[in-house]
Every structure is written in structure tokens, then in C-alpha cells.
Chain A
Amino acid sequence: MSTKLNTSLFNKKILFQAAKESFIKLNPTLQIKNPVIFIVAIGAVLTTIIVLTGLLQGNFSSFNLQIAIWLWFTVLFANFAEAVAEGRGKAQAESLRKNRTQTIARKIQGKQEVSVNATELRKGDIVRCLAGDVIPSDGEIIEGIASVDESAITGESAPVIRESGGDRSAVTGGTKVISDWILIRITTEPGNTFIDRMIALVEGAKRQKTPNEIALSILLSGLTIIFLLVVVTLPAFFGYSLSASGLPMSHNLTIPVLIALLVCLIPTTIGGLLSAIGISGMDRLIQRNVIATSGRAIEAAGDVDVLLLDKTGTITLGNRMATDFIPAEGVTTEELANAAQLSSLSDETPEGRSIVILAKEKFNIRGREVHQLNATFIPFTAQSRMSGVDLKTDDKTVHKIRKGSSEAIRTFIQNNNGFYPQEIQNIVSELARQGATPLVVAEDKKVMGVIHLKDIVKGGIKHRFAELRKMGIKTVMITGDNALTAAAIAAEAGVDDFMAEAKPEDKLRRIRDEQANGHLVGMIGDGTNDAPALAQADVGLAMNTGTQAAREAGNMVDLDSNPTKLIEVVEVGKQLLMTRGSLTTFSIANDVAKYFAIIPAIAISLYSGKNGVGPLSAMNVMHLVSPQSAILSAVIFNAIIIVLLIPLALKGVRYKPVSANAALTRNLLMFGLGGIIAPFIGIKLIDILINL
């Protein structure tokens, strides 16, 4: 799906559909949802009526007709912007629907199994799924283990293991069991499943305005009222000026001209693009395979200033790796490496493999074929806490090579009547202090040395945290490790703070503390015991692989279950807010040029001498050809700029992880200063074009 979800920005089908939609959206009941554009629509209707009555009375005005046409275009362009944004969501919803086939579930009733329609399943019902079954609804595995194909929602084709108990017990309706069987307790009512919600979200059907969007709408409506006031009172001011210039009242401003002025002054650009920006914000998250339960959550992501990150998987690679061999006295590093590799040859854990690889890299000791060695492998057990190999040499003596924790090896050596040197103990303590995990290697009764196993901090993560710091976001590492180890890794990864030996309730308390101090907190989690913290956090990103409880508690789900995703989510949130602010600034700044186009045009005759050109024509700094073409150019610019900015609204303004001040300076130059200058150029160009 990750590929399927990446619907290209503009494809023909979406554009065609959106063009159709923009007419359907002319329906007043839909149009009124966008007050700024609704005013334009009313203006378009009025102007059209004036054109038509003029036509009937035989004084047709082609100027009025052109105004009317461009006003309609303004409305249609705004509708089109919204329709394109919605269209991309709809295309995604379509592909999701394909996966939601009509499923028959095997419901357990008493001791019997009955076939029921998936849609009849209620919360608490228990169903059995066998290999090849599509899981009928969201639920929790209560018995069994199975591999499940979740490509329908994650786009990832490799099946995943789901099992009862633990942190991987959630299953999603619409995914498919590939092997084995499981018993599932249904956890959602029909129509409210994960896929249902996903469809509703991408279609924007249930899209509610987010808090910032509401505030911005109020500002835009307020500005609209203020400019409405300007335009309504203008004929009176104009009437005064007409009589003062000795001109007849019939020269007063016509309604189409007033409407043209109004439409140019009210913030139509941002008004027309506002909902498209919101929808595309949701869209950008989905393209990153993150599903948010509400637009509010995305906005909150932009506001987050504290991130709680789990160490394992987010900051460090999931597994420790061997990075060094430290030999005991009288042993060469190569001998130690050789012994360590032998002891790890059949060790399929990532740690074991990393030892084999390190030995190969450092001393070119190749992995030997196991059966050629005439060896017996001793696997790791919880009792012995060691693994290793027994090598039978030609003289039938058996060499026992072991690796394990220092205590386990000490016991092993002592049992073999060997000597465990203090020097080794010192190395072990020192490594532990650095946050590493020491493994001691022994051959028979001799200690060979220590393998330095280390948490590997993910490549580039330190840079990422530095970026976050620049953006004013504090990172807190959460780990179950002891304070010493945690501090060492925290320093290496460059996080701002860490919580060692953290229990789930510590996370919850930390979130509450941060929030009480005015911070907004984002966190990721997967386990059931993460659920309270996920619910408390302002942005709770649940892993799709996690438990159902975790997925319900968070306000976002990451389908890729990639813990680093939280950082991207924050970026999407910030980008969304930035786009809104930038286009609002642009829209308001545009008014300066529009005034300079329209005011001299309408006031040209006032206080004029014989040539009919009054003093206010001095304000025509753009030297627009005629009053009509000046007004028309402003209206056309106003309409076209909406279309030109649709790609920006959908993609969002370019985002860079920089400080607030740097971001502001950049956006102000582009959209503030640009917003003042661009219309001067645009209107002038249009004026030249229409006068060709």
C-alpha cells in the first residue's frame, strides 16, 4: 500500500473528477461552509443577474460580463482546490475498499462454530481464523499464533507473526491469516474498524475543522466583514466626492465594480485553499503510512515540544553488536577472536552473528562449516546463561569454549578448577560503566578475554536530534537500562534527557509533569502497558504491530511500526501550520497592490479637468491601460493565483528543520514580501495581455 498510497500529485483521473466536483460544490448548502468563497459566489450571482437584466434592457455591458465570468472562476477554482485534495484521498479510499471484501467469519458460539457475516460481529464476539481466512474485524488474539499478511493496510508484503499474549496480539480486519490458526476476540463494533476509519479519514468525510483552522476561519471572516464595510460605505464617500467635483450621481460606482473590489480585498486566496491545505496535511501523513484519528492530532504534532522516545528501536538498533575483543593477559587478540567466533558459530542471535562478523572483519577469520569441525554446539539456556561449542580434537580430547555473562563464566571456570583473574573483572566493570554489555569468553579453564557488545546508536540519529533541538523540541530517551548505561547511550545519541529503569507508570508520570509545565508531549508505544501514557500524551503514536489497547489509546497509528516515524509526524504537523500561515500572509499582503490597481481606476474622473483624468490617476503606479482593464486584471489575478497555489497547498511549503526565527524570516520574505510584490507584477502582466 505504501506504493499504492503514493498517488501522484496530479493524475488525469483525479483532475477530471475534481473539475466535475467543483461544479457540484456550487450547491449553496456546501458552498456556505466556506464563508469567504460564499461571499464571492453571492457576488458572482449578483453580477450575473445585472448582466442578464442589462441584456434584456438592451444595455449589455461586456465589462460586467467579464467580471461575472471571472468571479465564477474564482469560486470554481476554490472548489477545484478542495476537490483535488479530496480526490487524492478518495483514490486511496478506493484501493482500501477493495481489500474489505465480504467476509464470512467462523464465530464461536458455546462450543460450536457458526458462519456469520463479518458485519454482524459485535464487540466481544470470539471468532476462529484458519490459514487462508481474511480476518473479519479488528480484534485481539486470545489463543494461538499465526503469520498474517497485513499488506492490505501496511503495504508491506512480508507476513508478520501475531500471537496471543505479549505485545503483538492485535489483528486488523481485512488482513489475511497465512499459516496456523488463531482465536480472536473482536474489539470493535462494525463500521468502526481500523479500515473503516482509515477510509473515512482519507475521504475527508468526517473531516472536522481543527482548532487552528477554526481560529483562522474566524480571522478570515473578520477581515471579510471589515472589507465588506469598506465597500458598502464607499458609494457614500464617492457620492460626496462626485458632488464636490460637480459630476452627476449617475457616475457613482456600479455594483459589479464594488463586488470586484470586495472580492479582491477579502482573503480569497487562503479562503479558497484552506480546506485543501488541511486535507493534504492528512494526506501527507498517510503517505508516510501513519493514520491519525483526527486533524487535531496532526496539528498537535506541530506543537509538540517534548518527545519521549524508547531507546531500543528508536535511538539504538534493536540489538547489541560486538565492537571489540579485549584479550586476557597472555592471550593474543586473534586467539580471543578465534575462540569467540567458534563459540558463536551456531548462535543465530544478532549478537552472535555480530561476533562472527567482527572476527571476520578484524582478523579475516572465516566462518567455518559447522559439520567439518566435529563439534557439538551448546545453545544458550536460561539456567547456564552461556552458549558455546565442544570441539573434539583428533586426540579425542574435548575443548570446551564458552561465552556468557561474567558470573556464568566465573562459575564455569571455577567448576573446571580454573582461575578467574581480577583483571578480567576490572574490564567487565569498566565496560558496564560505559553502557556496554561485556561477554566473557573462556576455553576450558582459561579465561580468553572479553567481547565488547555495544548498543549501536542508529546512523544519523544524532543529527536528527540536533535538528529537533534547533526546532525547539526536547528529546527524552526512555530505557529499562540502569542509569550508567542509559547516561552513556544518551550522551552518544545526543538526546537532551533520559529516564533510566523506566516503568510504564514512570512514562505516564513524566508526561503529566511535562504537561503541567506547559509542554506538549509526543510519544510512541506498542504495549498494553503503554496505553495510559499514549492516551495522556498530546500525540500518541501507536505501532501497528502493537496491542489493540495501544492502538486504541494513541491518536495515531504507524503502519510501518517504525519508531523514528514520530519525528516525521512532527514535521508534517509543522509543515501544515506553516503552509496555512504563509498563504494567509500572502493573501493579506496581496491587498496592497490590488488597492493600487482599483482605487485609481474607479476614482479617475473625480476632480478632473476637461480631459476627464483626475488627480488620483497619479496613484496608478502600475500604469494600467484603462480603468476597466485595471479592475479586470485585479479580478483575474485574484482568481488565477488560487489555481497557481494549489500545488503549494497540497505539497505544503518547503520544510526545513530550523529554528522558529529562521523559518519565520524565510517564510516572511517569500510570502510576506513576495505577497506584496507578486500581485504588482501579476496584475501588470495580465493588463498587458488583455490589452494586446
Chain B
Amino acid sequence: MTTQDVIQVILYFALLIGLTPILGNYMFKVFSGQKHFMLPVLGWLEKLTYKITGVDSGEETNWKSYTFGLIMFSFIGFVFVYLIQVFQAHLPLNPANLPNVSWHSAFNTSVSFMTNTNWQGYAGETTLSYFVQMIGLTVQNFVSAAAGIAVLLALIRGIARKTTDKLGNFWVDLTRSTLYLLLPLSILFALVLVGQGVVQNFKHYETVQTLQGAQQVIPMGPAASQIAIKQLGTNGGGFFNANSAHPFENPTPFSNFLEMLAILLIPAALTFTYGKMVGSKRQGWTIFSAMLILLIAGLSISLYAEYSTNPIFGHFHLMEGKETRFGITNSILWATATTSASNGSVNAMHDSLSPIAGMIAMVNLMLGEIIFGGVGSGLYGMVIFIIITVFIAGLMVGRTPEYLGKKIEAFEVQMAIIAILLPNLVIQLFSAWASVSNVGLSSLNNAGPHGFSEILYAYSSAAGNNGSAFAGLNANTVFYNLTIGIGMLIGRFGVIIPVMAIAGSMVKKKITPLSAGTFRTDNGLFIGLLIAVILIVGGLTHFPALALGPVVEHLLMNSGITF
């Protein structure tokens, strides 16, 4: 690594830490209905939204109504995106005259954007019209992120409130996070990106004569607006197939830095919001620290793996598939951030990472996208692990385990286990199926353990609602579109429903006051414990699979064999 690389990494984390309380505090004000500076600007729009949709913003509901609202909302979004894809040839804003999308690809894509995954089995510029990208995908990029935040808000209220059953109003939470958070940030960010050279137009694709005299089609489109939200809302679905490796998506080192920062910005800041809402900023920082430590650990291992002497070529940098413009460090930093944060946008091909760096990316997915994770979803996923940690370790202090004064009892444990189990089910069962069936194996571009890693990565990405791919796997087949689609659904709602049930159960409980007998969840010991439980409970499950994929590949690479 060069000094410049080191400075950039340090600057990255410094900015992340610095922005967390600022944005976190703003979100706290927005979500708890306090006065904030955007209210005079957009308050009328919020009121207008309620008027049109007939939402009573003062009414709060219990967990079942809240969850029902969320599921209905997601379902309608899914149906809409599905329909505009399969009929896109008949719809406007299709200058490239792209045909209707196949039913399975449309299913996969609409699930993917509705679940905030943004797995892309298709290539954007050759599959989807501007209309679908803007009205379908970009809208879902906003609302699926907002829905994730809404679930988190319900969970926080479940923890912070006592002896009630009211968790808030889903429609209000959805509206506020879209209107006051995602929209202004995206507009701001899109403008900066346009300034850096990201395209934003409705032009026809341009055909140009290259220097060699060949013809090349340059795709165009309203990219900046989608890229802004794809980074901020941990969506990750690129406007172009090459995602942020494409110069029109990510033209300069500055845009690269900002896009990387945008990946983690909101998830990180939400930890601060969390702390403020539960009444202890320390609690928020504790979670932030656990996430940061895991992130930095993963980054360090990946960087070490990439910068190690390669036994085959003998020199340092394996540039194939990396972001050649910005270098290894930027490729790895992006890869780590995007897999940690359930974002899934890429600036380098993860298929080209060294086996160990690829494994770290995979582990980030397998842990359930909780290292900052998706907006909202990362933190509520983390709370699931906190509940398990508090339960196991809390008993060791000789009391019924409690978290922030709320007793963790059979129901919470049961729901937490379900939320951990279901995504694992997706990864294990679908990977097993794909790795022994012809429909699964025929999509592989690589042999040996690397091919296995491609399968494992795809389902881990689906289950974690990440959306990035270990390219090299042709996923636009009926088999992969369906299994990955189902995987994304389970990965999203198989966690959301148990989380909401936990919120519904916790909100009814009393709060036990803090005393010396309380198991502390805001100190270094707890950070260590939480990390250990995440790695042992969340990670050990995948130990055999990882051994047969990246680990063996790494060992083979060291003896000179590649795939």
C-alpha cells in the first residue's frame, strides 16, 4: 500500500465516524417527530402525502398492523415493477426499443428491488428501458430503503417504550424517511455526481467510431439519480451492467470516494439515532464500534491477502478484474464496504478477488449483513445478534437476561433464532441444490472450488439481501432467477417478521431499572462478546462450506493451482 492509500483509508473512516453523529442526530429529530431544518422546506409535502393517501398521521398501530402495512406495500411495489417489465416494449421512454423482459427475470428483478437487494441477473443497458429503471427501480430504491428504516424504527420503539402495544405508524415512518432523508440526500449527491461527470439524460444510445475504427455503442440514460440512491439506500443496483466500474457511473477518484462513503453513511448514522432513541448514546456507539471493528478486521485481512506475494506470478498486485483506475486499495475498500453494508454495488469484480478477500466478502454476506448492513436492516439484524448475545451471556451474571431493561425471554429467543435460521436455510439448501444439479452447474464459468464459491456467493448475496455477485455465474436462467428470487424474499421477510414480532413483544414489557446487577451492554466487554457470538453463531455454520470453497482455493493457489 502506498502512503496515499493509507491516508485515504484513514480519511474514509474519519469521515464516517465524524458524519455519524451529525446525520444520526438529524434522523433522530426526523423520526421522533421533532422540529428540524427540513420541516419548513418539505413539511407541506408530508402533509399533502397524508391527505392524498388518507393516512391519519397521529394514529399508531401494534406490530401486526405495522407489519401488514409493510408487507402490503412491498407486495404492491413488486407487482408494479413486475408488470412494467413484462410490458416494457409497450411503455414510453424506451429509446433502445428493448423487448419485454422474460417472466422469470422480471420476477427476480422485482423481488430484488422490492427487498432492497438489487441483485441483477440482467444487464441494465441491454434489458431495461429508462421507464422501468426510473419509475420501477429507482422508486423501489427509495421505498425499500425507507421500509427497512421503518422496521428498525418499530424495533427501537419496541425497546424504548414500555407497557404499551403501539409501535408507531408505518406510513408516517415510510414517508418521513423518504421525504426528509433519502430524497434530499440523493438530490444533493446526484448533483455532485453530475458535477463529476456521471450522465443524466434521456438520450438515445450513441454509436461512435473508436480510434481503432470499430463501432461502439455508448449507453446513455438518467444514471446519476439512480446511482445516488443506489449508494445511499444500500441498494447497489447499477444503472449499467458494470455498476460503478463503469466510467459513466463512477468517473473520478472523488466520485469513487464519495460513493464508497455513501454506502456506509446512513447505516452508520442509524446507530447514533438508535442510541438517542433508546436514551443512551453509548449504546449506539457500542454497536457502532462492534460494526467498525468487524469492518476493519475484514478490510485488513482482505488487503493483506491482496498485497501478499502471489505464489504464481510472484509480484504484488493482481489487477485483473480490479478497479484499474483507482487501484487495489480502493477496490478492496469498496468490496468490503459494499458486502458489509448489504449494498452490492461494485467497482471491481468480486470474482477476481484473491480467495481470502473473496471469502471475507462472502463472510460479510453470510453473517446476515449486520456490519453496518442495509439501511435499517443492518441494525435490526444486529439487534437479533445482540439478543442472542445478551441471552447467552446475560445468564452468566445470574439474572434473567435483559437488554436495555427489557427481559429477553422464550419468545424473543425463538424469534431471534428464526431470524438467524431462515437466511441460513437459503444459503445452505439452495447452494447444496445448485452444486449437485445440472441446472445449477451449467451456469458456472469456473471450475473447482472457485466455481463452488460462485454458487455460495450468489445465495449468500440473496439471503443477505446484498445483491452483489461473484460474477462468473450466469444467473439469468429460470433456475437461478427463481431460487435466488425466493432466497431474497426469505432473506428479507424471514427476518423482518420475527423482528417485528420481537418489537411487538418487547414493547409490552416493563423496563427494569439499571443497577450494578445489570448486564452491561455498553462497554468494551460487550463489544468483544457480541463479535464473538456473531462469528461463532453466525459464522461457524458456514465453516465447512467456506473450507470447501475459498479456503481450499487459497491453499491450492499457494501451491500453484488456480481455477
Contacts and interface: CB of A to CB of B under 8 A. Distances in A.
A304 B324 CA distance: 62
Interface of A: 211-212, 214-216, 218-219, 222-223, 225-227, 229-230, 232-234, 236-241, 244-245, 299, 302-303, 305, 469-474, 516-520, 573-575, 577-578, 580-582, 584-585, 588-589, 591-592, 595, 599, 603, 606-607, 614-616, 618-619, 655, 659-661, 663-665, 667-668, 671-672
Contacts of A573: 398
A508 to B, nearest CB: 19
Q: Which residue of B162, B388, B532 has the most chain A CB atoms within 10 A of its CB atom?
A: B532
A614 B162 CA distance: 57
Contacts of A668: 393, 396, 525, 529
A230 B525 contact: no
Given A211-B410, A244-B447, A663-B397, A581 B548 contact: no
Contacts of B48: none
B413 A218 contact: yes
Given A240-B436, A244-B448, A473 B428 contact: no
A473 B537 CA distance: 32
Given A225-B421, A240-B435, A303-B399, A619 B429 contact: no
Contact of B393 (A299, A303, A585, A618): A585
Contacts of B562: none
Interface string B517-548: 11110010100010010001100110111011
Q: Which residue of B397, B400, B435, B518 has the most chain A CB atoms within 10 A of its CB atom?
A: B397
B395 interface: yes
Given A585-B392, A595-B543, A664-B393, A615 B536 contact: no
Contacts of B45: none
B520 A660 contact: yes
A588 B547 contact: no
A578 to B, nearest CB: 5
A672 B518 CA distance: 20
B448 A607 contact: yes
Contacts of A667: 396-397
Given A575-B398, A599-B547, A603-B552, A592 B536 contact: yes
B463 to A, nearest CB: 12
Interface in B380-429: 388, 391-400, 405, 408-410, 412-414, 417-418, 420-421, 424-425, 428-429
Contact of A237 (B162, B399, B431, B511): B431
A235 to B, nearest CB: 8
Contacts of B392: 219, 581, 584-585, 588
Interface string B491-530: 0000000000000000000111101111110010100010
10 contacts: A214-B410, A225-B421, A226-B424, A233-B429, A305-B513, A471-B517, A518-B510, A582-B396, A595-B540, A603-B547
A503 to B, nearest CB: 26
A578 B398 contact: yes
Nearest to B435: A240
A607 B556 contact: yes
Contacts of B519: 660, 664
Nearest to A474: B515
Given A236-B435, A599-B547, 18 more contacts: A218-B413, A219-B388, A223-B417, A236-B432, A240-B451, A299-B400, A470-B516, A574-B398, A582-B396, A592-B540, A606-B548, A607-B552, A615-B556, A618-B555, A660-B399, A660-B518, A661-B523, A667-B397
Contacts of B399: 302-303, 574, 577, 660
Given A226-B541, A615-B555, A236 B436 contact: yes
Contacts of A474: 515
Given A470-B516, A581-B392, A595-B543, A229 B552 contact: no
Contacts of A589: 536
B398 A615 contact: no
Contact of A302 (B400, B414, B435, B545): B400
Q: Which residue of B408, B420, B513 has the most chain A CB atoms within 10 A of its CB atom?
A: B513
A216 B431 CA distance: 30
Contacts of A471: 398, 516-517
Contacts of B556: 607, 615
Nearest to A471: B517
Q: Which 4 A-B pairs have the closest CB atoms?
A: A472-B517, A581-B395, A574-B398, A222-B417
Question: How would you classify the secondary structure of chain B's contact residues: helix, strand, loop or mixed?
Answer: helix
A234 B547 CA distance: 11
Given A591-B536, A664-B519, A211 B541 contact: no
Nearest to A574: B398
Contacts of B391: 215-216, 219
A33 to B, nearest CB: 16
Contacts of B551: 616, 619
A604 B376 CA distance: 42
Contacts of B515: 305, 472-474
Nearest to A581: B395
Contact of B516 (A469, A520, A595, A614): A469
Contacts of A591: 536, 540
A616 B547 CA distance: 8
Contacts of A234: 544
A232 B431 CA distance: 12
Interface in B205-262: none
A232 B452 CA distance: 17
B485 interface: no
Contacts of B479: none
Contacts of B449: 241, 244, 607
A245 B449 CA distance: 9
B504 to A, nearest CB: 17
B513 A519 contact: yes
A233 B432 contact: yes
A591 B529 CA distance: 16
B304 interface: no
Nearest to B511: A518
B396 A599 contact: no
B516 A615 contact: no
Interface string B18-30: 0000000000000
